[in-house]
Amino acid sequence: MLIPWLGLVAFIVVSLTIDLRGHGGRPMTPRNALIWSIAWTAIGAAFAILLLIFDDGQAAGEYLSGFLIEKSLSLDNLFVFAILFTFLQVPDTQRLKVLVWGIAGAIVLRTLFILVGAAALDAFHATTYVLGALLLFTAIRIAKSGGEEMDPERTIIMRMLRRALPLSREFDGDKLFTIENGKRLATPLFAALALVAAFDVMFAIDSIPAIFAITRDTYIVFAANAFSLLGMVSLYFLLDGLLDRFRYLHYGLAVILAFVAAKLLLVDVWHPSNGLSLAVIAVAIGGAALFSSIAERREQRLAQERADAGLPPLEASDERDEDKTPTTSA
């Protein structure tokens, strides 16, 4: 079993190196981001074929379900990363490096989460119910959030970071630390790197229990997490500027988390197939994307109608009020 682990870890390390060096530290163009996103997703999905060849169909199905769950949940991470970069005013030229190194650190920390989680599940069956309750609580919290944006300044992580390290207000190229008035200060780039890794680990508290509902095989759990994270860099640059259009994504993620929570809570009496898991993921994310697209088109049509009538455009808050106002046909 040592050889598969060494091979997988080596591949992940090489892939991260390609992600960092392959673009010269520059932000990707939409075309390159699309190509890389497709490539990483295809590579991640292709790993299921290797499992099918060298293991069996059950392992391949479990990995594919876990990979799709982690890939879906990673979209929520992208919202947070976009907000963090805007808040800290991270230059476009530095965002790729922050993403790659932040994700590399997250993979290491997630591995520790996986090993601890697997040991706890093996030792205490009741841990399954605790994880299920945690996911159910998270699903309800996400559904109730209404997709509200996070304020990084008010997060515990940011407050702890400011207390632990004095932060400079200015960037100093690609340096993580700088000297101002004889004092050594952490740059906003260091803050961005620390926050990306920290928030990704926080997301792991939700996503890792979710995949443990699919399989207890730590190799499959690690592989699904690692391959889903590898594609986040290119996916960020592909969706950057478009993330605000996926307004109902949180509902889709809530459905997925509620489903896997039910699997954990009912583990002794209910054993849904991998096919059902894949179907729930596809319907949840597809439905969220469809309704988001419908809402976007409705707003565009409303804006055009107001422009044709010579009326000023609605503010964002007015548009939300408009969505809540019931309409009747003439």
Mean pLDDT, range 110-138, rounded to an integer = 80
Residue range of the domain that includes 96: 2-311
Chain-centroid distance of CA 289 in Å reads 16
Q: Given a cut of 60, is residue 318 above it in pLDDT?
A: no
Q: Given a cut of 70, is residue 118 above it in pLDDT?
A: yes
User: Under a CB-based contact definition with an 8 Å cutoff, are residues 69 and 260 in contact?
Assistant: yes
Residue 330 lies in a domain: no
Which pLDDT does position 325 carry in this prediction? 41
**What phi, psi does 178 have (nearest 5°)?**
-145, 170
CA distance 234 to 224: 17
Residue 292 lies in a domain: yes
Residue 319 lies in a domain: no
Contacting residues for 60 by C-beta, under 8 A, at least 6 apart: 48, 49, 51, 52
Q: Given a cut of 90, is residue 79 above it in pLDDT?
A: no
Number of domain units in the chain: 1
Q: Given a cut of 60, is residue 43 above it in pLDDT?
A: yes
- Under DSSP, the state recorded for 167 is B
Residue 223 lies in a domain: yes
Q: Map residue 186 onto helix, strand or coil.
A: strand
More confident residue, 123 or 311: 311
Task: Compute how many other C-beta atoms are within 10 angstroms of the C-beta atom of residue 226.
Answer: 24
Instruction: Look up the pTM and report it.
Output: 0.70
- Of the pLDDT bands very low, low, confident and very high (cuts 50, 70, 90), residue 329 is very low
Which pLDDT does position 147 carry in this prediction? 56
- Of the pLDDT bands very low, low, confident and very high (cuts 50, 70, 90), residue 7 is very high
Residue 327 lies in a domain: no
Q: Given a cut of 80, is residue 84 above it in pLDDT?
A: no
% residues pLDDT > 70 (the chain): 85
Q: Whole-number mean pLDDT of the chain?
A: 79
Lowest mean per-residue pLDDT among 43-52, 103-112, 131-140, 143-152:
143-152
Give pLDDT tens digits for 245-292.
777 878 887 888 788 788 878 878 887 876 787 788 789 888 988 998
- Of the pLDDT bands very low, low, confident and very high (cuts 50, 70, 90), residue 21 is low
Give pLDDT tens digits for 186-209.
888 888 888 777 777 677 776 778
Residue 329 lies in a domain: no
Residue 321 lies in a domain: no
Residue 317 lies in a domain: no
Give pLDDT tens digits for 92-116.
778 877 887 777 777 787 888 888 8
Which pLDDT does position 27 carry in this prediction? 66
CA distance 229 to 223: 10
* Enclosing H/E stretch for 201: helix 188-212
Q: Residue written as tokens 């508290």?
A: 205
Q: What is the token pair recorded at 328?
A: 């009747």
Count of residues making up the chain: 330
CA distance 186 to 188: 7
